[in-house]
Chains A and B, each alone.
Chain A
């Protein structure tokens, strides 16, 4: 699962946030809502036409579009 992003994570899968580019206002807000490097995230749902996606992070459910999710690099949660 190298170089994958949250936008590609299949529904029902877990992953760990690997990296997020800095200095983007929309990503800063996602960080403030709990998505920071090292956080475990899970995609819980995808809207019928592909977006938005719903994710679960720190017990809260958020939805976002692929555009934002594609900035969030993830790694496998196995063994984490």
Chain B
């Protein structure tokens, strides 16, 4: 069994979700954290450093929140595997700190009892003692410590109370193994597990010195992805599990009941609580926030605030970033001598990087907002209220916020899907999120609606109505595909919605800010590199090969991008598009709003002001085909609008989906199904429309 170097002990922090575990970890380690992913899975691996009260250096690992070592998700599988020393890249921890939500003592003791059985020196942290006090729960910490044979520390991670005592306890060298007796296994089950252990040892699924717990947890693994268990061993485990189930039906459930029986005995000794639940701030708030009418009104207010922050408040900083990068471009332009290299920097690299960084204000705001909602406990209420509607398309309430965020930008939306525990629901949410019409589509919609209905000809209400219709179309598409994926692509275990409704508490702002910073950095570093590379590619495609003495419009026509536009013309002609639109579509794969600037170059429209679409709009409206007909007929505009609603034309999102799903497979699948749908629908619209004589 591998353990870390003896001079810096590795301490695992474990606990149920909502136990304040991560807040405590952040409080202990501060900025001295390294965040990475466990290989092959999007479970965050956080390792940090801190010093004990006596100045001894300690390494802390924040393991994923879980309810049980019987894994039901990749998160829980990681927890189980690290604690059992099954992960090659992560040493088995030397000690464990179990963080408990004191106001949920009984339920939290369930996993604690599993962890104690592992025999590692353990410290119990009774966190959120203030919430327990509100409920008039009295926990006899001394007695609990005596009963379990482990030190017990009481803390409040939000205020930092009890932190010094915890650090003192972390200094102790003499931590003994816990006294908790392993759960009594019925004789038959025990024999069967011993047999399974022998069998699994032979296949190498478990190492030779493992206790019975390892076969126990492998046989009771319910994680649909079987993360951490080799495929070659899965068949054997399935077989053993089947045999176990046949010989001892319900053995797992009997173990759970036995465990709770012993926890009840323990709680009778250490916990005094009122017979009836006391009126707390949580029950009072829930009466309003989960009220059938008031709760919904409040939810609309919260979402209104979120949209206001993302669209309006973020606008300022986004403008500064845009101006800043513009200034940087001009500055470099003045600094360097003309040439391809300057062109690459000024027209490729700077706008490419700027195009990524510009999303940063929205990402920061969104993650801060989500952090507050999660940390206070409101997120569970939001999921509770929205669950019914989301269940109609096979998702659950937790998918709502990531999807909604995608109306601002799919990137934070996809990243926010991490809050969904069910791997299947999370994947479906990620797959449909970019169908929400994001803010980058807005300029394209505006331009094309302007061409379709020139101002003055119809009222602004009709234009707004069309705009609303496009948003509705995207939303409908998202729900439709969620339903399809749920029914067809990802059949199998329906994921139940079991949601904890934690007590409301004050948010730990510092901890949230740390999280926001980590997310922002991840976005800039990981997505930024891919996006930068592709921006350079697109720049090169529209710059080379060079021709002499051409106007920029002619240059564009001769470039690779122009040739590509002509190359794809046969494919897009049935949709009603010419090769110039083709260039716009290709350019849009960098980002949708690039359509406008690309078309500006293609039609050689000089416009200093990005917000003023009038010159380009008039140019498009007047553009004629070689035969004399209008290029942008109403039908072509509608076909093009529908294409933009459905097509996946955003390199940044593809990069983020690749990152968040851990493979190119789903990112490419998404690219394919969205763009395929866009193509088919636009084709149908144009062909049927033409046949009908529009």
- In the bound complex, do residue B387 and residue A51 qualify as a contact, i.e. CB atoms below 8 Å apart? yes
Which residues from 239 to 281 on chain B have a C-beta closer than 8 Å to any C-beta of chain A? Answer: 245, 249-250, 252-254, 256-257, 260, 273, 277
- In the bound complex, do residue B501 and residue A47 qualify as a contact, i.e. CB atoms below 8 Å apart? no
- In the bound complex, do residue A31 and residue B498 qualify as a contact, i.e. CB atoms below 8 Å apart? no
The answer, among A22, A37, A59, A63, for a CB contact under 8 Å with B135, is: A59
Chain A residue at minimal CB-CB distance from B277? A56
**Residues of chain A within 8 A of B103, CB atoms compared:** 59
The answer, among B107, B254, B286, for a CB contact under 8 Å with A33, is: B107
**Residues of chain A within 8 A of B499, CB atoms compared:** 52, 62-64
- In the bound complex, do residue B500 and residue A62 qualify as a contact, i.e. CB atoms below 8 Å apart? yes
Chain A residue at minimal CB-CB distance from B260? A36
- In the bound complex, do residue A63 and residue B496 qualify as a contact, i.e. CB atoms below 8 Å apart? no
**Residues of chain B within 8 A of A60, CB atoms compared:** 104, 106-107, 500
Q: A49-B388, A63-B501 are in contact. Are A25 and B72 (CB under 8 A)?
A: yes
- In the bound complex, do residue B277 and residue A28 qualify as a contact, i.e. CB atoms below 8 Å apart? no
- In the bound complex, do residue B501 and residue A62 qualify as a contact, i.e. CB atoms below 8 Å apart? yes
Say if the beta carbon of A68 comes within 8 Å of chain B.
yes
- In the bound complex, do residue B496 and residue A65 qualify as a contact, i.e. CB atoms below 8 Å apart? yes
Say if the beta carbon of B222 comes within 8 Å of chain A.
yes
Q: 1/0 per position for A14-47, CB-CB distance to B under 8 A?
A: 0000001011011111111110110100000101
CA distance A32 to B388 in the complex (A): 25
- In the bound complex, do residue A26 and residue B107 qualify as a contact, i.e. CB atoms below 8 Å apart? no
Q: A31-B257, A59-B135, A60-B107 are in contact. Are A65 and B387 (CB under 8 A)?
A: yes
- In the bound complex, do residue B222 and residue A23 qualify as a contact, i.e. CB atoms below 8 Å apart? no
- In the bound complex, do residue A32 and residue B256 qualify as a contact, i.e. CB atoms below 8 Å apart? yes
- In the bound complex, do residue B387 and residue A52 qualify as a contact, i.e. CB atoms below 8 Å apart? yes
CA distance A6 to B10 in the complex (A): 44
Q: A22-B253, A58-B107 are in contact. Are A29 and B496 (CB under 8 A)?
A: yes
Chain A residue at minimal CB-CB distance from B220? A28
Chain B residue at minimal CB-CB distance from A46? B292
The answer, among B135, B256, B273, for a CB contact under 8 Å with A36, is: B256
Q: A59-B277, A63-B499, A64-B497 are in contact. Are A50 and B68 (CB under 8 A)?
A: no
Which residues from 278 to 309 on chain B have a C-beta closer than 8 Å to any C-beta of chain A? Answer: 286, 290, 292, 296
**Residues of chain B within 8 A of A45, CB atoms compared:** 286, 290
- In the bound complex, do residue A48 and residue B497 qualify as a contact, i.e. CB atoms below 8 Å apart? no
**Residues of chain A within 8 A of B137, CB atoms compared:** 59
Say if the beta carbon of B110 comes within 8 Å of chain A.
yes
**Residues of chain B within 8 A of A52, CB atoms compared:** 384, 387-388, 397, 497, 499
Minimum distance in angstroms from A33 CB to a CB of chain B: 6
CA distance A49 to B397 in the complex (A): 14
**Residues of chain B within 8 A of A27, CB atoms compared:** 253
The answer, among A22, A23, A37, A68, for a CB contact under 8 Å with B498, is: A68
Say if the beta carbon of B70 comes within 8 Å of chain A.
yes
CA distance A56 to B274 in the complex (A): 14
**Residues of chain A within 8 A of B110, CB atoms compared:** 32-34
Minimum distance in angstroms from A39 CB to a CB of chain B: 8
Say if the beta carbon of B391 comes within 8 Å of chain A.
yes
Q: A25-B222, A52-B388, A61-B500 are in contact. Are A31 and B290 (CB under 8 A)?
A: no
- Interface of A with B (CB < 8 Å)? 20, 22-23, 25-34, 36-37, 39, 45, 47-52, 54, 56-65, 67-68
Per CB-CB distance, the 4 closest pairs between chain A and chain B, nearest first, are A22-B250, A26-B496, A61-B501, A48-B292
10 additional contacts (CB under 8 A) given A28-B252, A62-B499: A29-B72, A31-B257, A33-B67, A34-B106, A36-B257, A48-B292, A51-B387, A52-B384, A63-B498, A64-B496
Q: What are 27 A-B pairs at a CB distance below 8 A? A: A22-B249, A22-B253, A25-B72, A31-B256, A31-B257, A32-B67, A32-B70, A32-B256, A33-B498, A34-B107, A51-B387, A51-B391, A52-B387, A52-B499, A54-B501, A56-B277, A58-B106, A59-B103, A59-B106, A59-B137, A60-B107, A62-B498, A62-B500, A63-B384, A64-B499, A65-B497, A67-B496
